[in-house]
A and B are shown apart, each in its own frame.
Chain A
Amino acid sequence: MSSIADQIAGSSVAEAGARAGAAVTSAPAITLPAAGDRELRLDLFRGLALWLIFIDHLPNNILTWFTFRNYGFSDATEIFIFISGYTAAFVYGRAMLEAGFVVATARIMRRVWQIYVAHVFLFTIFLAEISYVATNFNNPLYSEEMGIMDFLKQPDVTIIQALLLRFRPVNMDVLPLYIVLMLFLPFILWLMKWRPDVTLALSAALYALTWQFDWYLSAYPNGTWFFNPFAWQLLFAFGAWCALGGAQRMSRILSSPITIGICFAYLLFAFFVTLTWHIPQLSFLMPKRLEQWMYPISKTDLDVLRFAHFLALAAITVRFLPRDWSGLKSPWLRPLILCGQHSLEIFCLGVFLAFAGHFVLAEISGGAGLHFLISVAGIVIMSGMAWVISWYKHSADKNAKKKGAVVNADMAGGG
């Protein structure tokens, strides 16, 4: 599995770009990067996103209150997709400049294949779980809900649709989105090589047209993809744009006190609005007009309110968490950073652990204590696994030193 590991470190990485951080200083345009330090903030926040996605996939418990989605519009998915766009552009953008379009595309396609295999693996686990529940659980209270098992009656259709990414069980929506975004990465990078700003504008235009004309990808047996790739590509392209020099050009706007003020005001507004969801007694404070204009805040189509919320969060993070912050080296944040460095494996593990957690919770009605225990155990397992993977990588690198640089470039690219 070590070949799936993505890494931005090593000789294959841009110094200028690596300095970029989630959005401050970066190479002036798409310049050839030199060797440099790994951008730990990216790893840190991707690791955090992975933990939060795991917790959000479990039934509500105490830890759920630590996840972003309870305090604003956007959630961990935005962070994950943005950083994925950033790192992918970072790594494959370099490959494209160095080795050309064809080679970079070939490497991206190999990465796409890895993600696809990971998705099929998760689907197999899902099938096992649902088949178990179908045979063991037959409570008359839920005779209607058991209708979900009907698809087991025609496994031929269902499995083929799953392989086509059209059948998407709950909590398995992120990888198909990621696959589609990665498929278009060569095209995005090729355009960005030409004119980054125009590419970003095109991406925004596609987003606007999607909202205007209601474009979507259909799913099986009906409905649409939970994450509409036509809308979510904006975040991915924005991440790529930041990685390829956009962040640096924005740095002056980002550090202006007006921007920071607006960001804080917006975050505060979002916080207040979310508060009214959790404490319905407060909902009388919300003007009805505003409610009718705002709701529903679509996650499927990456609502502008969500996108703006993510931007505000990112701007403030970049402003107040410097790249050389000493905490990034602290052992306390090490597990998060390690998870972020092996995101595809840890993401899959997280989805699996969420399935397992649901299963244990359903079998043993243990209450809040057990909920908490399962969440913490999941995070410990994820961190432990990340540590094992990096240990593997480390010793493999030692034993196959000549391969090092090439392998790193191939593996890189933001899972």
Chain B
Amino acid sequence: MKSNPMMILGLALFAGLLAAAPLRAEDAPANCEVPTYLLTSESPLPKVETAIVSDRRLEILVVGSRSSTITASEGSAYPGRLQAILKEALPKVAVNVSVELQVKKTAEEVAGGLVKLVEVRKPTLVIWQTGTYDAIRAIDPDDFRAGLDEGVVGLQKTGADVVLMNLQYSPRTETMISAPPYLDNMRVVAQEHSVPLFDRFAIMRHWSDAGDFDLSSTSHGPDLAKRVHDCIGRALSKFVIDAAHVKPAQQN
């Protein structure tokens, strides 16, 4: 629901800036369409395709930071939603999504341990969500890129498919955290190694611009987080199925 800016401005002047904050409905149903170009990738996921079409077993490992979970309700975070939605979309495939949280670690630090993780879990697909902590710490973008590079190459050597996921769009911290260098470098590394990039940043910004979510909300409850993660899970499952070139006929 979009509000009339002039009306809100008038109200704000009337009631004071702060009082105007909770104007948006908190319980609006999650309507989170994503434009197709944000969900398509030139880079394929051949291992995932084989896993779905022939093996009927899809093991996904999400390696991520704090933004891959919701405190006190892990099940509603996007990895859990991804598993549920993929199971629904691919009823004949045994889908399992596990999460490995690497909190407060830079891409370089995570990269070092990635291969070991994969050797233990043997996933078909690794979704590596990263960039936020590097951006917060203002890590040198070149070091970030080197870390990403090392991680992606290592993962590809183990024979797993890789999807990179970038930062969240966070309007409140836009003046404090500089995302662009990290977004750019993730795009570059994804391109270099033909790895699909799930552009979480652009997708969330699209939702914010379209008025689907009020991402500046000061609400302290987990509601908004749950709805956003549900939508990310949906978008991510579409993205993975699309990149794996699985047609509806093959799924069943």
Where the two chains meet, the residues of A that have a C-beta atom closer than 8 Å to any C-beta of B are 59-60, 126, 129-130, 133, 136-148, 169-171, 214, 216, 219, 221-224, 226, 280-281, 283-284, 288, 291-292, 295-296, 299-300, 354-355, 358, 360-370, 373
Can you name the residue of chain A whose Cβ is closest to the Cβ of B228?
A141
Q: How far is the CA of A367 from the CA of B208 in the complex (A)?
A: 9
The answer, yes or no, to whether B172 is at the interface (CB within 8 Å) is yes
Contact between A138 and B168, CB atoms less than 8 A apart: no
User: With A219-B138, A367-B211 known to touch, is A145 a contact of B132 (CB < 8 Å)?
Assistant: yes
Can you sample 25 A-B contacts with CB below 8 Å? A59-B171, A133-B172, A138-B220, A139-B218, A139-B225, A141-B225, A219-B138, A222-B140, A223-B139, A223-B140, A280-B37, A281-B37, A291-B191, A300-B141, A358-B171, A358-B174, A361-B216, A362-B216, A363-B17, A363-B18, A363-B216, A364-B20, A364-B23, A366-B3, A367-B5
Q: How distant is A159 from chain B, measured CB to nearest CB, in Å?
A: 16
Judged by a CB distance under 8 angstroms, whether B221 is at the interface is yes
CB–CB B173/A133 < 8 A: yes
Q: Tell whether B252 is near chain A: CB-to-CB under 8 Å.
A: no
B32 → A minimal CB distance (Å): 14
Instruction: Give chain A residues whose Cβ lies under 8 Å from the Cβ of B192.
Output: 292
Restricting to B150-194, which residues have a CB under 8 Å from any CB of A?
A: 168, 170-178, 181, 184-185, 187-188, 191-192
Q: Report Cα–Cα, A410/B228, bound state, in Å.
A: 56
Determine if A142 and B184 form an interchain contact, defined as CB atoms under 8 angstroms apart. Answer: no
Is B28 interfacial (CB-CB < 8 Å)? Answer: no
Question: B53-85 interface mask toward A, CB cutoff 8 Å, 1 = contact, 0 = none?
Answer: 000000000000111001100000000000000
A362 touches B172 (CB 8 A): yes
Q: Give the number of residue pairs across the A-B interface with Cβ within 8 Å.
A: 156
Interface size class, chain B: 35 or more
> 9 more A-B contacts (CB under 8 A) besides A144-B67, A280-B37, A365-B3?
A139-B220, A145-B168, A146-B173, A148-B173, A148-B177, A281-B37, A295-B191, A365-B216, A370-B5
CA distance A149 to B250 in the complex (A): 49
B247 at the interface (CB under 8 A from A): no
Q: Tell me if A295 and B188 are in contact (CB < 8 A).
A: yes
Question: Cβ of A365 and Cβ of B23 under 8 Å apart?
Answer: yes
| Residues from chain A with Cβ under 8 Å of B140 in the complex | 216, 222-224
Interface string of B211-233 (1 = CB under 8 A from A): 10011111111101100100000
Q: Which of these binds chain A: B6-14, B86-94, B119-127, B234-242?
A: B6-14
Q: Nearest B residue to A366 by beta-carbon distance?
A: B5
Q: How far is the CB of B200 from chain A (nearest CB, A)?
A: 12
Give the distance in Å from the alpha carbon of A288 to the alpha carbon of B194 in the complex: 11
Contact residues in A for B2 (Cβ distance below 8 Å): 367
Compute how far the CA of A368 lies from the CA of B215 in the bound complex, rounded to whole angstroms: 15
A142 close to B17 (CB less than 8 A): no
Given contacts A354-B175, A362-B172, A365-B214, contact A221 B138 (CB under 8 A): yes
B170 contacts A223, CB within 8 Å? Answer: no
Complex: how many Å from CA A133 to CA B8?
A: 21
10 tightest Cβ-Cβ pairs between the two chains A and B: A144-B66, A366-B5, A141-B225, A369-B5, A370-B5, A223-B138, A362-B216, A170-B178, A144-B67, A140-B225
- In the complex, what distance in Å separates the CA atom of A284 from the CA atom of B70? 37
- Contact partners of A296 in chain B: CB under 8 A: 141, 145, 184-185, 188
Q: For residue B71, which residues in chain A have a CB less than 8 angstroms away from its CB?
A: 140, 143
A144 touches B132 (CB 8 A): yes
Bound Cα distance A300, B138 (Å): 13
Residue of A nearest to B70 (CB): A140
- Point out the residue from A137, A216, A360 that lies within 8 Å of B17, measured CB to CB: A360
B27 interface hit (Cβ, 8 Å): no
Tell me whether A147 and B133 are in contact (CB under 8 A). Answer: yes
Instruction: Please determine whether A141 and B211 come into contact, CB atoms closer than 8 angstroms.
Output: no
Complex CA gap A170/B104 in Å reads 20
Q: Which of A140, A142, A284, A366 contacts B172 (CB 8 A)?
A: A142
Q: Which A residues lie within 8 Å of B220 (CB)? A: 138-140
